[in-house]
């Protein structure tokens, strides 16, 4: 199915290009891909909490992880016209500094080439060589212009190692702003495992995935807001994974706490001229629609705007547990939330399903 006038666009969908799979297979600590005898099946382990005997230890690595034709099959099965693919976490955070430039170039080139195999159907968010230092990062940002299918970059929450409120990131943010490359902010590290308590292993991966991920995103973007990043880099565009983590729900509380913080005011850290959280939500932030409920999606829409919501699937994660399912429940849940919140076939739902992404990310070949 070619892109139509009202295409469905999936902006939250991950790939493990073959060279990244090889990189992960070559490792003996997290993140890694390996088999756990007696089984010979390969499994991907990306979080420490997943790497204990008492859990199912990561997840099976099937062809949908690395074979781009499986991505397109998945798209066809779920009526998705265009996907903006991104390398899955933890990206290249752990690559030695000396190897960072080459790793990022190789993977970005490979992802760009894979997009080229399905003209008009695949675009991508690039991966930055964060461990390589400022010059290496800026050079790769500059090089991305030459990659036809790149429409932004995916970024975790650690930045250069100190989080996204690190002043040393400001030149990087400015370079992305100037290159008109939005940041797709995505969690990976979650929260320190002590918060899950002694029984965490009884609950499978639920706590780190369901709570740790969105809380990590919320903390990262709030630290950026408090550091004044959006005053200093006023045109920076961020697309927040999982509908902003919990930012739409907490925006009011964050605003109230900022207003009531005598220390913040006395120091003039965020002076009279600061942008409010609400202003940032409507000016600098876009939200994906990967929130699995009308309740969450309504909050995301009300916080950011109907013109700032973008459909996503989180493929290849959350696959059907029963092998016979024709479509994935995780995808259907997010479709249903959009239809429930915005109606079926309405201008608003078409915008959320794809129109917003096409406009913001310029998804034309």
Q: Which of residues 255-274 bind a copy of itself (CB under 8 A)?
A: 255-267, 269
For residues 284 and 313, which CB has a smaller minimum distance to a copy of itself in the complex?
A: 313
C-alpha dihedral, 91 to 364 to 330 to 110, nearest 10°: -30
Footprint (CB under 8 A) of a copy of itself, residues 29-58:
55-56
The answer to whether residue 214 forms part of the interface with a copy of itself (CB under 8 A) is yes
The answer to whether residue 160 forms part of the interface with a copy of itself (CB under 8 A) is no
CB of residue 302 to a copy of itself, shortest distance in Å: 5
Residue pair 34/43 in contact (Cβ under 8 Å)? The answer is yes
Range 320-327 contact pairs with CB under 8 angstroms and sequence separation of 24 or more? 326/77, 327/77, 327/78
Determine the Cα–Cα distance for residues 115 and 103; give it in Å rounded to an integer: 18
Determine the Cα–Cα distance for residues 227 and 301; give it in Å rounded to an integer: 25
Per-position b or e across 286-304, b if 16+ CB within 10 A of its CB: bbbbbbbebebbbbbbebb
What stretches of 78-195 show up as alpha helix (H) in DSSP?
97-116, 134-144, 170-178
Cis before residue 62, ω within 30 degrees of 0? no
CB of residue 17 to a copy of itself, shortest distance in Å: 25
Among the residue ranges 73-81, 86-94, 112-120, 190-198, the one whose residues contact a copy of itself (CB under 8 A): 190-198
**Location of structure tokens 């994974």:** 241
The answer to whether residue 73 forms part of the interface with a copy of itself (CB under 8 A) is no
The answer to whether residue 142 forms part of the interface with a copy of itself (CB under 8 A) is no
CB of residue 179 to a copy of itself, shortest distance in Å: 26
For residues 125 and 196, which CB has a smaller minimum distance to a copy of itself in the complex?
A: 196
CB of residue 275 to a copy of itself, shortest distance in Å: 15
Q: Which of 29, 135, 146, 199 touches a copy of itself by CB under 8 A?
A: 199
The answer to whether residue 282 forms part of the interface with a copy of itself (CB under 8 A) is no
For residues 173 and 196, which CB has a smaller minimum distance to a copy of itself in the complex?
A: 196
Residue in 97, 233, 117, 266 with CA at minimum distance from that of residue 165: 233
The answer to whether residue 343 forms part of the interface with a copy of itself (CB under 8 A) is no
The answer to whether residue 329 forms part of the interface with a copy of itself (CB under 8 A) is yes
The answer to whether residue 279 forms part of the interface with a copy of itself (CB under 8 A) is no
Q: Which of 16, 173, 318, 335 touches a copy of itself by CB under 8 A?
A: 318
Q: Which of 210, 343, 345, 359 touches a copy of itself by CB under 8 A?
A: 210
Q: Which of 204, 276, 305, 339 touches a copy of itself by CB under 8 A?
A: 204
What stretches of the chain adopt beta strand conformation (E)? 9-15, 32-35, 42-45, 59-60, 82-87, 122-127, 150-155, 183-185, 238-240, 285-288, 309-310
Considering CB under 8 A, how many residues would be counted as binding a copy of itself?
Answer: 72
The answer to whether residue 209 forms part of the interface with a copy of itself (CB under 8 A) is yes
For residues 215 and 360, which CB has a smaller minimum distance to a copy of itself in the complex?
A: 215
The answer to whether residue 232 forms part of the interface with a copy of itself (CB under 8 A) is no
Two structure tokens written together for 257: 């706490």
* Neighbour order of strands in the sheet with 285-288: 9-15, 82-87, 122-127, 150-155, 183-185, 238-240, 285-288, 309-310
């Amino acid at each position: 199915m070619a892109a139509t006038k009202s295409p469905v666009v999936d902006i939250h969908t991950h790939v493990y290009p073959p060279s990244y799979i090889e990189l992960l297979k070559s490792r003996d600590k997290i993140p890694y891909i390996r088999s756990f005898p007696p089984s010979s099946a390969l499994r991907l382990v990306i979080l420490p909490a997943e790497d204990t005997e008492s859990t199912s230890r990561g997840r099976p690595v099937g062809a949908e992880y690395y074979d781009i034709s499986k991505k397109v099959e998945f798209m066809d099965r779920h009526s998705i016209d265009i996907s903006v693919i991104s390398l899955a976490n933890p990206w290249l955070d752990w690559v030695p500094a000396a190897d960072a430039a080459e790793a990022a170039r190789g993977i970005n080139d490979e992802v760009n080439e894979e997009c080229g195999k399905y003209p008009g159907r695949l675009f991508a968010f690039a991966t930055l060589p964060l461990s390589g230092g400022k010059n290496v990062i800026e050079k790769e940002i500059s090089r991305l212009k030459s990659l036809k299918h790149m429409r932004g970059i995916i970024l975790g929450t650690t930045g250069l190692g100190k989080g996204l409120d690190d002043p040393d990131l400001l030149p990087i943010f400015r370079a992305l702003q100037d290159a008109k490359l939005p940041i797709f902010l995505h969690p990976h590290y979650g929260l320190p495992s002590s918060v899950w308590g002694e029984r965490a292993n009884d609950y499978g991966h639920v706590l780190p995935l369901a709570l740790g991920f969105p809380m990590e995103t919320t903390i990262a973007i709030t630290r950026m807001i408090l550091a004044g990043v959006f005053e200093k880099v006023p045109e920076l565009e961020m697309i927040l994974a999982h509908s902003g983590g919990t930012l739409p729900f907490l925006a009011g509380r964050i605003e109230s706490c900022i207003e009531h913080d005598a220390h913040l005011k006395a120091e003039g850290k965020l002076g009279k001229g600061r942008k409010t959280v609400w202003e940032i939500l409507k000016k600098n932030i876009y939200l994906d629609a990967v929130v699995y409920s009308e309740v969450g999606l309504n909050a995301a829409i009300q916080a950011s705007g109907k013109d700032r919501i973008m459909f996503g699937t989180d493929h290849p994660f959350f696959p059907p547990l029963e092998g016979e399912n024709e479509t994935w429940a995780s995808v259907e849940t997010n479709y249903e939330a959009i239809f429930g919140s915005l109606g079926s076939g309405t201008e608003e739902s078409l915008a959320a399903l794809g129109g917003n992404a096409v406009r913001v990310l310029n998804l034309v070949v």
